[in-house]
Amino acid sequence: MLKKILKWTGRTLLVIILLAIGYYTKAHIMIGKRQHKVYAVKPVKLDIPNDSATLAMGRRLVTTKGCTDCHDKDLGGKVLFEQKGIGRLTARNLTKGKGGVPKDFDTDDWVRAIRHGVQRDGTPLIYMPSAGFNQLSETDLKAVIAYCAQVPPVNRENPPSEIGVGATIMADLGELELFEAEKIDHKAPVPMAIREGVTPDFGKYVTQICTGCHKPDMKGTPGEGGTPDISSTGKSARWTDEQFFQTLRTGKRPDGTELKAPMPWQMTAAFSDTEMRALRMYLKSI
Ligand code: HEC
Ligand code: HEC
């Protein structure tokens, strides 16, 4: 009797293992296909100015758009996440130093990466949040590129990003967005310049980079480890303007609790008054 039961549990187990291998093989093939898909993007042709005003603007933008959070202050890149069984995520070295972008990395390559989330060969970058940068105005994009292209070379050879078993399964189940290129309308026209001011329009422009985590409707994602609702229905809508600004400047909420990672409050801390007020106005309007 016992023997019979053992035999059947053994068989059931075998079936489960085979099904798991089958599922993983399928997931692995699907992710491979997505990773090697070639996007036929046509980068807008830009003339990059390098006057000091543009460079100063670019220097500010790489902070306020979060580039330095991920690619490090010197833009030499760093490992953002690494766990055995899941994978490794590395924000690349953007300088011309050892381990950095190729010597002939040109304006088209910058536009492809920033606006479209794809590399020179048309395949998607992993996790680079280009959906939030796709609608950067031409003026802002030029300033970012002008600044990035002339930063001092940093010799840092970071280990490359790797999509491990865990990341493959999570991405296949739709729990992890690996390729922002998939979300982007690659033919969408770019705004030329944005009029800065305390207006909902400018607020919407500023919050593009929040949509990756807080979602386009700013209602976040529910549940444990989710992202909070920051629209007019969220808890933060009830804070005073001053409390709201303080939170995004110091990383501390009015009740004293800290904004935990991955909320990039060092980025919002660098926002100007106009950016803060416009953003607040927009969030309260939706
Ligand atoms: C959330 C983190 C994050 C932010 C914010 C971010 N990046 Fe990235 N970026 C990445 C990752 C990760 C990669 C590498 C992806 C890979 O390995 O496929 C990358 C790749 C790139 C590349 C491609 C480099 C190459 O060698 O092909 C460029 C260029 C780039 N980022 C520029 C920027 C700029 C400019 C900004 C700000 C406007 C920015 N990134 C903001 C995470 C980020
Ligand atoms: C990389 C993901 C990410 C991005 C990008 C991001 N946030 Fe967040 N944000 C979070 C997470 C996660 C939390 C919750 C942190 C915690 O639990 O302490 C949060 C919390 C907040 C809170 C506090 C809300 C509350 O109810 O406590 C505010 C306000 C906020 N974010 C505003 C913004 C704004 C504005 C932007 C864009 C300029 C932005 N965030 C960009 C992930 C992000």
Residues 123-145 have pLDDT tens digits of 999 999 999 999 999 999 999 99
Q: Is residue 265 part of a domain?
A: yes
Q: Is residue 224 part of a domain?
A: yes
Q: Is residue 270 part of a domain?
A: yes
Q: Is residue 9 part of a domain?
A: no
Q: Could you give the number of structural domains in the chain?
A: 2
131 Cβ inside 6 Å of ligand 2? no
Q: Apex CA 65: angle with CA 196 and CA 216, to 5°?
A: 80
Answer with the one of 193, 208, 236 that is the final residue of a domain: 193
65 CA from centroid of ligand 1 (Å):
11
Same structural domain, 75 and 129: yes
Same structural domain, 153 and 210: no
**Angstrom distance (rounded) from CA 92 to CA 70:** 9
Same structural domain, 62 and 48: yes
Same structural domain, 178 and 200: no
Same structural domain, 132 and 96: yes
Find the residues whose C-beta lies inside 6 A of ligand 1: 62, 65-67, 69-71, 89-92, 94, 101, 110, 113-114, 119, 125-129, 133, 144, 148, 161
Q: List the strands of the sheet with 78-83, edge to edge.
A: 78-83, 87-91, 162-163
214 CA from centroid of ligand 2 (Å):
7
- Digit-coded pLDDT (tens) for 158-216: 999 999 999 999 999 988 999 999 999 999 998 888 899 999 999 999 999 999 899 99
CA–chain centroid gap for 119, Å, is: 15
Query: Per DSSP, which regions of 132-187 are E strands?
Result: 162-163
Q: Is residue 4 part of a domain?
A: no
**Tokens linked to 96:** 């011309």
Return mean pLDDT, the chain. 94
- The answer to whether 210 and 259 have CB atoms below 8 angstroms apart is no
**Angstrom distance (rounded) from CA 178 to CA 104:** 27
Answer with the one of 162, 193, 224 that is the final residue of a domain: 193
Tell me which residue has its CA closest to atom 8 in ligand 1.
128
Q: pLDDT confidence of 224, banded at 50, 70, 90? A: confident
**Tokens linked to 34:** 């997505």
Q: Is residue 178 part of a domain?
A: yes
14 CA from centroid of ligand 1 (Å):
43
Q: Is residue 8 part of a domain?
A: no
pLDDT value of residue 6: 80
- Digit-coded pLDDT (tens) for 60-96: 999 999 999 999 999 999 999 999 999 999 999 999 9
207 CA from centroid of ligand 2 (Å):
11
Domain range for residue 257?
196-286
- Digit-coded pLDDT (tens) for 226-281: 899 999 999 999 999 999 999 999 999 999 999 998 899 999 999 999 999 999 99
Q: Is residue 153 part of a domain?
A: yes
Say yes or no to pLDDT of 1 above 80. Answer: no
Say yes or no to pLDDT of 2 above 80. Answer: no
